[in-house]
Structures are given as structure tokens and as C-alpha cells.
Structure 1
């Protein structure tokens, strides 16, 4: 019990020093430590719940008509996401063992937004950020080739990191990447190998990738530009 209390205090201190839009509600936030694969409840009451990712990663999944899983949103540290109880709500799961969330009751968030105009603007920006993530994913999976999709995915992860230094730590497995990009895991592996052999990326660890040639990834990842990198 003491270990759990100390862990909660540690993550609450971590939350207190991270800049985010719901700072004025941090004292009411509930700290949730989730294990890998643990489902986030989708019955949070009539006003829903806002969640903030302190550490780890979370995926929102839907099952397609053919029975395959599709990751429709990927939440990383310092991302917000909203859960409104619904039978049609996609499944939301923690990806990493050390996934810790801050949970904010939707009713309290709405009450503060009604009284505080500046807070209401910040809440609107949080909602727009969620829409921006969805739009970015549509652009990624809408690309024509696997190289384009995987390359764009790596760039998006680098852009979402607090220090975009070209070293991408994959928060998910290649199976999750495949479900996010709507391709097979074999396709993801082949694309990663192709990018590495062309000198565009380098494997710097089990789940760490170093981007060596950013322009090749940014140049729409077409075959002609990739050939020029060889």
C-alpha cells in the first residue's frame, strides 16, 4: 500500500511540473497507473472524463467489418483524450506497462469552463489537438506506398516528441504500427528494412530509430526520391 501511495505522489509531482491546459484542475485529478493491455473504462458518467497521459502510451481501437483491429488514435505523453460512455465507444487500452494517466471528471471540467473564459479557450484548444491527431493519421494512412506511410509515421512521432532531435523511440510494437497504418506487420517490417538499407534510418536500439536523412522522408517518400538516396 505504501509503495502505491509513494508512486501516486511521484506522478502527481510529475503532473504538477508539466505544462498543460487543465492545470487549474490538477488538485482534483485522479492518478491512474495502468498495466499493458488494461482497458480504460468507458462508463465515466453523463459528462465523460478527460484523461492526460503523464507517461506511457494509450491506443483507441475499433474492430473493422472484416474482424481486423484498427488503431484510430494514439495518445502519447502530454496528450489529452476524452471518453464519453457509449456502447459504440472504441476500446481504449494502455500500451506500455508504465502508463500513468491523470483523470479529470467531465462535470467539473464543464463547470470551470462555464465560469472561466480563458479556461474554456484552453479546453477548446485541447479538443482541436485531438482533431489534429485524427487528421494527421488520415493523411498518413492515405499515402500510396508502405514507405510513405512508415516514413510519415516516424516523422509524426519525432514531431510529437518534446525534443524533436531525430531519434524516435517507438512507443508501440510493429503490430500496433501495422494496425495504426492499416497494413500488415510484414509490410511494416519490410518498409523499415528498406529504409535502413537505403541509409534513411538507423536502428539505435530495440525500439529506438535514428532518422539519418530527414529530407528523404519529407519528400513525400516517392520511389524516385528514395532511389536518389542510395
Structure 2
């Protein structure tokens, strides 16, 4: 089924409903729509551009020596990220078919910062948010087993996007998650099955996960498994 691509005005209204650090510039923002695997545009000869994820997800990735892709940074809805014109940086690409971004000129932001101290604090806030995202991702990747990593990823999503029932709509596929965790997709699927069999999560369809035992999921992150199935799911 093809995704529904809404007009730019729809995403402007959606952006208006979301709280973020650059809120007062929403009226002049550039709306950028991307298909899966399409690169986020760079602007040669400029100071670059800050982007805010309105819908979908994007990745910064590299190709490993064995030919597999490794996702180095994963940006989800309500994340900010910066794109310059450096040839040494890995490209940033859309990871879902309906990926929509709000683009802010970095040159304009810098000019505003020189005249407005409050705005300078807001720009520092989105920089700190980028650093915090890196910290959260290190926690996810620091798991001993793939089940640990998947558990940390689900808890991160639940904190940001989960509903009152503990249901989480996965923003990326299991193939994408495997590239993020640097394991095979079969290993990721076994980790999900392991958590489900132990009654920690329930799988509702292909992309929705319900946390049924949050305490066990939290305990999973730092737990050792000398006699459990999860030891066979190590990265």
C-alpha cells in the first residue's frame, strides 16, 4: 500500500501543533518531503541548514568493510539535526517513505542569535538535544545482547511516543533496526520473539509493540543471562 502524501499546508499545520525550540520561525520554514533512501539536500556555499523531523525518520549511515550498512545516527519525529556541505560527512537519508522535514537556514539562525539572546539560548537547546540523542543511542547500543539493545530501544520509544496502554508504533522496520544495532535482521526477529515468549512484550501486527511487563523490560537492559535463551541472541 502506498503511503498517503499530504500537501505542504498539512505538514505546516502539523508542525504548528508540535512544541519545539524554533517555534517562532515556523511561518517561514521550508517544508521538505523525501522518499525512502532519498538524501536530505545540502546547500553548497552556505552555512548549512538545521532540520526538524515532522514525520518519518532519517539516518546517517556508513558502509562497513563487509558491505553492510551501519546506521550511525537515527533521527525520529521531533528530533533536530544539522546538514552542512562537508564532503567528509556521511550523507543523511530518509528511512521511511513518508519523511517530512522542516528546514531552517543556519545563516539566518546565526544572525538572529547575534541580536537576540533568548533565541541564542533556543539554538543552544537544539544543539544540546542532538548531544542527548547521541547519549541515548549509546545506551541502546551498549547492551550485552541484542535482546538488551531491543529492550533499551523500546523503552526509548515508549518514553517519547508510547500511549497509555504501552503501545508503541515502530517508526522503522526490523531491517532498519538491524542496521542500527549492527546485527542481522534474523537476530533482531529472534530478540523480539524471545521478549514475547517471556511475556515482556506483545506484538500487535507488524509494526506495533505493546509493553506488557515494563519492570521486566527495564530489568532486561542490565541483566545477565547465563542460562537463558537470550545468550544465543548476542550481537
Q: Are residue 194 (structure 1) and residue 179 (structure 2) matched?
A: no
Aligned positions of 1:80-229 closer than 5 A: 80-161=80-161, 163=163, 165-221=165-221, 222-223=223-224
Partner of 1:38: 38
Q: In structure 1, how many angstroms separate the alpha carbons of the residues matched to 2:165 and 2:83?
A: 32
Shift in Å, 1:44:
5.0
Give a deviation string over 1:151-197, Cα, whole Å, max 9, x none. Answer: 11111111222757521111111111011111111110110010011
Q: In structure 2, how many angstroms separate the alpha carbons of the residues matched to 1:58 and 1:191?
A: 24
Structure 1: which 5+ residue stretches go unaligned? Answer: none
RMSD between superposed Cα atoms in Å: 2.1
Is the 8 Å Cα contact of residues 72 and 134 (structure 1) preserved in structure 2?
no
User: Helix, strand or coil: the match of 1:219?
Assistant: helix
Residues 162 and 185 of structure 1: CA distance in aligned 2, closer, same or farther (over 3 Å):
closer
Q: Which moved more, 1:156-165 or 1:145-154?
A: 156-165
Partner of 1:20: 20
Q: In structure 2, how many angstroms separate the alpha carbons of the residues matched to 1:226 and 1:45?
A: 58
Residues 202 and 177 of structure 1: CA distance in aligned 2, closer, same or farther (over 3 Å):
same
Count of residue pairs the alignment pairs up: 223
Structure 2: which 5+ residue stretches go unaligned? Answer: 229-235
Is the 8 Å Cα contact of residues 53 and 102 (structure 1) preserved in structure 2?
yes
Q: In structure 2, how many angstroms separate the alpha carbons of the residues matched to 1:104 and 1:202?
A: 39
Q: TM-score, normalized by length of structure 2?
A: 0.87
Q: In structure 1, how many angstroms separate the alpha carbons of the residues matched to 2:47 and 2:23?
A: 19
Q: TM-score, normalized by length of structure 1?
A: 0.89
